[in-house]
Chain A
Amino acid sequence: MKNGISRLSTISGLMIFSSVVYGQGAENASSFYTNLLIGTLGFVVIAVLLQLTDNLLLIEAKKTGADKTGRNFSIFPTIGEIFKKRLPARLAGEQVVRLDKGHDILVEGESVETIDSKVKANTFAVQPPNYNGIKPIPKLVVQVGDSVKAGDELFYDKQNPDLKFVAPVSGEVIALNRKEKRAIKEVVILADKKQEFRTLPSIDLEESSREDLMAFMMEYGAFGMIRQRPYNVVVDHTVIPSNIFISTFDSAPLAPNLNFVIKGKEAAFAQGLKVLSKLTSGQVHLGLDGKSENSPSPAFVEAEGVEKTYFYGAHPAGNVGIQIHHTAPINANDTVWTLDVQAVATIGSMVADSKFDASRLVAIGGAVDNPTYANTYIGANIGELLKDNVSIEKPRYISGDVLSGEQKQTEEFLNIFDDQISVVKEGDYYEMFGWLLPLSPRPSISNTFPNFLFRDHKFEVDTNTHGENRAFVVTGQYEKVLPMDIYPQHLLKSILVNDYERMEGLGLLEVVEEDLALCEFVCTSKQPIQKILREGLNTLREQ
């Protein structure tokens, strides 16, 4: 019982009060019993009244179904209601999940909400390694020198020829870059000045069946933007997903504001949701930001035909994995799809406008001169987007956020699922007694740093590890930043010893790398947690 403590203290308060009542009259023996009786009676009457009111309220809440929202309808408040911060008023009556664990890393260089029209990329790439679960050498249908339109097929996976991967822009294929063992790293396209779109067949959403819709989406590249959990892999089109999840806010450091990103794409987003809701046997779930002062974009708040849940908490509250865990957790044999809001808009425009519109607003943040947003397409070249914007000496370019993004060179490209570039300083310096007396402020969840006094301080971060790799020693630190019913340290140990049963039992199927990224950040022993996790996911998937 969540409100047990307040219930207990109310009752015991009453008991003390009633004992005072009889204590006052206890001077002579004759009135002692009278007062005792009055005191006890008073206690009983008030206690019964309270309990009765409480029960009536609960019954009423059950009748109307309001208790399903998880809110407390008893007259006894829970500890949370007494001590925790009040939820914003806009959340009244909504389904809210409150996440107490987590940590927001404040990093200097958040993108200003303007679109800098001067920032342009000319080359784009589709990168097969972005897709977990396809063969390293997919079957290419284009060659260097071919010109393609946006939405034209580029390659398909040999195991699954029906699933097509398409060009985000129109232009000329100028390179097929390979990695070791001839695996294809990227298919590079030099974009036309004026974008041309392949005309997709029109499809009537009301009339068409799920099969028609699936065939349409597979053929014209929509599944290049959707990932399937568990394992975060390319969609298996033979399985109907039990739910589809979309997070409408990104809580990672320097993440783009999706309310800003979706501006102008509201109609396409709504259309996309309609398409998706026809593809699942369950619901399309939208995770909304409950923490910010302002209400999220109307595109999210007023979305129709979807299940909306607000999440109130620090990072990783915006991670779709956390949201799945608190709305409809993934069980064994479950399959769910996840995608981001801009992908939903692209899918919407495929149906509404019959074109593959892969435009993306990308946040450029961190140690850049001008943190801003750029209007570009999927897979844009990093160096071109950052042209004349980086003046620090040793920059590291990251496709994605600083917790789970991938390090890139300027000639490389944004990963397909990423809508932000983070730039941070390389931290390859020695620091004298840095472990004992750090000279510069650095983000940390530990109270051994005075960070808790400067809660709003934005850190200038670098990539120094601030210590060496060690065995697991400290316990309980991961749990502080992971708002899930999972024991991360034990999960990781079960992966290290290859114990399949425990891996699955302890919830490996519910997490992907980004969900445990914050655990890796806080790890005192500097363990490569995301790497271990991916190995575990791969071995379990092979099983």
Chain B
Amino acid sequence: MDNGLIKFLKKIEPSKDKKMLHTLFDGFFTFAFTPNETTKNGVHLRDGMDLKRTMIHVVIALQLCYLFGTYNIGHQHFYALGEFTGLFDGFHLKLTHGLVKMLPIFVVANVVGLAIEFFYAAKKGHPIEEGYIVTGALIPLIMPPDLPLWILAMSIVFAVILGKEAFGGTGMNIWNIALLARVFVFFAYPTTISGDDVWISGIAKEGITYSTEYTMVHGWLDNLFSSFGWSVFGEGGVVIDGFSGATPLSLAVSGGWEAVTSQFTVSQMWWGLIPGSIGETCKPFIIFGALFLIITGIASWRVMLSMAIGCAVTGMLLNGWGATEYMDIPWYYHFYMGSFLFAMAFMATDPVTAASTNTGKWIYGFMAGMVGLIIRVINPAYPEGWMLAILFMNTLAPTIDFYVLDANMKRRARRAQVAA
């Protein structure tokens, strides 16, 4: 069966002169079939691992975050309304509301990014490289659920063209592409990604009152649900008194740990039933993904471990200093709030932008953990530090590697001197 199919596909393969078509065909063909290339001289056997397989395993590691993130969009929405406050109450409403928000973000992120990728691959005449598989899976998880899609598209255009293609494509970029997209939104459209009003979807603020915002799709879903006799979105409820939409981090800025715990319990933060970027909230699932990456050997455990150590040590130092209420938050609670674990597991470990030597990875991770927590706690302008810390360390990574390699060269030179 395979042979007939391959013969047919080879027959319809566009000629190489039609660059665009050929690249597109090649992209889909090599996705469906591992090509029949054989080794030349050099090694005659090759490891079964290739870049596609590497990348897809990161995407697999993200799946639980996707599931939970989607559901949590709906859950947070209804929690703010004071309806269906139990986790599994109104399951279908929460899930569909999450999907209504999530699917467009996912589709836009991938269509825009892959289109650029295909275009540049065709232009340069090389096969489509797999880097965007992971980027396209990461970007939706680090955005707020209500982000306007055009801003999302703009950010991806910026990140992929200026952050990657300008440097020569997959494997050549200096900064993490997903974080570049986020940083673009963060600085160009700050009101869509910071403050207290953006983390809960489907709720608009007019003056000081909140009201629900439902789309046409919600109406269609309501028709469907009512035909089953299930509960419906309806006109939307009234936002409960005292609702602020604040994340634990913004609470911590204003009132330290006391303010955080007045809104959220520790177990809520641990299980991720808090507002935040879509995929960052649920700690057990992120840890599961991180362990998956470590066990399969896809991501560097050195970066993850050293980043956690860096964050913990800095947290302890800040505890010791204790000049503000924020600094007094016990260091271990910093792992519960915000997106530390997500950044550690999926952002800092990007092999292209992290330090490339093993010693360098320890330094890189440790400093990322340190810088990130300093930004989080000490700089009131930025509620969260990991995005900036990792981008900053991406910039420094080649320098770290340079000194590690330099030490290696010096070691060799010294050895020669001793021998002489």
Q: Which residues of A contact B (CB under 8 A)?
A: 105, 107, 253, 329, 331-334, 396, 398, 402-407, 422, 424, 426-436, 438, 442-449, 461-468, 470-476, 479, 485-487, 489-490, 502, 505-507, 513, 517, 520-526, 528-531
B residues in contact with A507, CB < 8 Å? 408, 412
Given A332-B416, A506-B408: A528 touches B33 (CB 8 Å cut-off): no
Complex: chain A residue closest to B37, CB-CB:
A465
Given A424-B45, A490-B356: A505 touches B412 (CB 8 Å cut-off): yes
- Give 29 pairs: A residue, B residue, CB < 8 Å, sorted on A: A404-B43, A407-B40, A433-B32, A435-B34, A436-B52, A436-B53, A442-B48, A443-B45, A443-B48, A447-B296, A448-B298, A449-B48, A463-B45, A464-B38, A467-B34, A467-B53, A468-B51, A470-B170, A473-B54, A474-B51, A474-B54, A476-B356, A476-B358, A487-B404, A490-B356, A521-B43, A521-B47, A522-B49, A529-B42
B residues in contact with A506, CB < 8 Å? 405, 408-409, 412
Rank and list the top 5 A-B pairs by shortest CB-CB distance, nearest first: A467-B50, A434-B34, A471-B171, A505-B409, A331-B416
**Do A490 and B298 touch (CB < 8 A)?**
no
Q: Among the listed A334, A461, A528, which residue makes an inter-chain contact with B42, where contact means beta carbons less than 8 Å apart?
A: A528
**Do A431 and B33 touch (CB < 8 A)?**
yes
Complex Cα gap A528–B129 (Å): 18
Q: Among the listed B36, B51, B352, B419, which residue makes an inter-chain contact with A429, where contact means beta carbons less than 8 Å apart?
A: B36
B residues in contact with A333, CB < 8 Å? 416
B residues in contact with A447, CB < 8 Å? 295-297
**Do B33 and A432 touch (CB < 8 A)?**
yes
Flag whether B2 is at the interface (Cβ < 8 A). yes
Flag whether B411 is at the interface (Cβ < 8 A). yes
**Do B56 and A446 touch (CB < 8 A)?**
no
**Do A487 and B408 touch (CB < 8 A)?**
yes
Complex Cα gap A315–B414 (Å): 28
B residues in contact with A513, CB < 8 Å? 42
Complex Cα gap A331–B354 (Å): 31
Q: Which residues of B contact A (CB under 8 A)?
A: 2, 6, 30, 32-54, 56-57, 127, 129-131, 168-172, 295-298, 300, 351-352, 354, 356-358, 361, 401, 404-405, 408-409, 411-413, 415-416, 419-420
Complex Cα gap A334–B412 (Å): 13
B residues in contact with A424, CB < 8 Å? 44-45
Complex Cα gap A475–B30 (Å): 24
**Do B44 and A402 touch (CB < 8 A)?**
yes
Given A471-B170, A471-B171: A461 touches B50 (CB 8 Å cut-off): no
B residues in contact with A435, CB < 8 Å? 34, 50, 52-53, 56
**A501 smallest CB distance to B (angstroms):** 9
Complex: chain A residue closest to B52, CB-CB:
A435
**B46 smallest CB distance to A (angstroms):** 5
Complex Cα gap A247–B251 (Å): 66
A residues in contact with B44, CB < 8 Å? 396, 398, 402-403, 405, 407, 422, 424, 463
**Do A444 and B171 touch (CB < 8 A)?**
no
B residues in contact with A522, CB < 8 Å? 47, 49
Complex Cα gap A431–B171 (Å): 26
**Do A430 and B419 touch (CB < 8 A)?**
no
Complex Cα gap A396–B43 (Å): 13
**Do B53 and A521 touch (CB < 8 A)?**
no
Given A471-B170, A506-B409, A507-B412: A446 touches B41 (CB 8 Å cut-off): no
**A301 smallest CB distance to B (angstroms):** 29
Complex Cα gap A503–B411 (Å): 14
Complex Cα gap A472–B358 (Å): 16
Complex Cα gap A241–B265 (Å): 72
A residues in contact with B172, CB < 8 Å? 471
A residues in contact with B296, CB < 8 Å? 446-448
Given A331-B420, A463-B45, A470-B170: A428 touches B38 (CB 8 Å cut-off): yes
Q: Among the listed A253, A474, A487, which residue makes an inter-chain contact with B405, where contact means beta carbons less than 8 Å apart?
A: A487
Complex Cα gap A461–B47 (Å): 10
| Contacts A465-B46, A468-B37, A530-B42 supplied; 19 other A-B pairs, CB < 8 Å | A331-B412, A402-B45, A428-B37, A430-B36, A432-B32, A446-B297, A448-B53, A448-B296, A449-B49, A464-B36, A471-B171, A473-B171, A476-B356, A485-B411, A517-B42, A521-B45, A521-B46, A523-B46, A524-B50
A residues in contact with B53, CB < 8 Å? 435-436, 446, 448, 467
Q: Among the listed B43, B52, B54, B356, which residue makes an inter-chain contact with A530, where contact means beta carbons less than 8 Å apart?
A: B43
Given A524-B50, A530-B43: A464 touches B297 (CB 8 Å cut-off): no
**Do B42 and A431 touch (CB < 8 A)?**
no
Q: Among the listed A331, A505, A530, which residue makes an inter-chain contact with B419, where contact means beta carbons less than 8 Å apart?
A: A331
Complex Cα gap A528–B169 (Å): 20
**Do B49 and A446 touch (CB < 8 A)?**
yes
Complex: chain B residue closest to A436, CB-CB:
B56
**Do B52 and A467 touch (CB < 8 A)?**
yes
Q: Among the listed A432, A438, A520, which residue makes an inter-chain contact with B43, where contact means beta carbons less than 8 Å apart?
A: A520
Complex Cα gap A503–B36 (Å): 34
Q: Among the listed A396, A485, A521, A526, which residue makes an inter-chain contact with B408, where contact means beta carbons less than 8 Å apart?
A: A485
A residues in contact with B411, CB < 8 Å? 485
Complex Cα gap A334–B419 (Å): 10
Given A105-B45, A470-B170, A474-B351: A465 touches B127 (CB 8 Å cut-off): no
Complex: chain A residue closest to B294, CB-CB:
A447
**B401 smallest CB distance to A (angstroms):** 7
**Do B35 and A526 touch (CB < 8 A)?**
no
Complex: chain A residue closest to B404, CB-CB:
A487
Complex Cα gap A253–B44 (Å): 11
**Do B47 and A476 touch (CB < 8 A)?**
no
Complex Cα gap A299–B57 (Å): 50
**Do A465 and B295 touch (CB < 8 A)?**
no
Instruction: Give the interface centre of A463, A479, A528 by most chain B CB atoms within 10 Å.
Output: A463
Given A443-B48, A524-B50: A473 touches B351 (CB 8 Å cut-off): yes
**A274 smallest CB distance to B (angstroms):** 26
**Do B405 and A466 touch (CB < 8 A)?**
no
Complex Cα gap A430–B30 (Å): 9
Instruction: Give the interface centre of A449, A524, A530 by most chain B CB atoms within 10 Å.
Output: A524
**A29 smallest CB distance to B (angstroms):** 31
B residues in contact with A531, CB < 8 Å? 41-42
**B111 smallest CB distance to A (angstroms):** 22
Complex Cα gap A474–B53 (Å): 12
Complex Cα gap A442–B39 (Å): 15
Complex: chain A residue closest to B352, CB-CB:
A473
Q: Among the listed A402, A445, A467, A475, which residue makes an inter-chain contact with B51, where contact means beta carbons less than 8 Å apart?
A: A467
A residues in contact with B170, CB < 8 Å? 470-471, 473
**A382 smallest CB distance to B (angstroms):** 15
A residues in contact with B50, CB < 8 Å? 435, 466-468, 470, 524, 526
**A410 smallest CB distance to B (angstroms):** 17
Complex Cα gap A436–B133 (Å): 13
**Do B34 and A466 touch (CB < 8 A)?**
yes
Instruction: Give the interface centre of A434, A489, A528 by most chain B CB atoms within 10 Å.
Output: A434
Q: Among the listed B34, B49, B401, B413, which residue makes an inter-chain contact with A490, where contact means beta carbons less than 8 Å apart?
A: B401
**B204 smallest CB distance to A (angstroms):** 42
Q: Among the listed B40, B54, B361, B409, which residue makes an inter-chain contact with A528, where contact means beta carbons less than 8 Å apart?
A: B40
**A540 smallest CB distance to B (angstroms):** 15
Given A446-B296, A476-B358: A464 touches B34 (CB 8 Å cut-off): yes
**Do B35 and A430 touch (CB < 8 A)?**
yes
Complex Cα gap A380–B33 (Å): 40
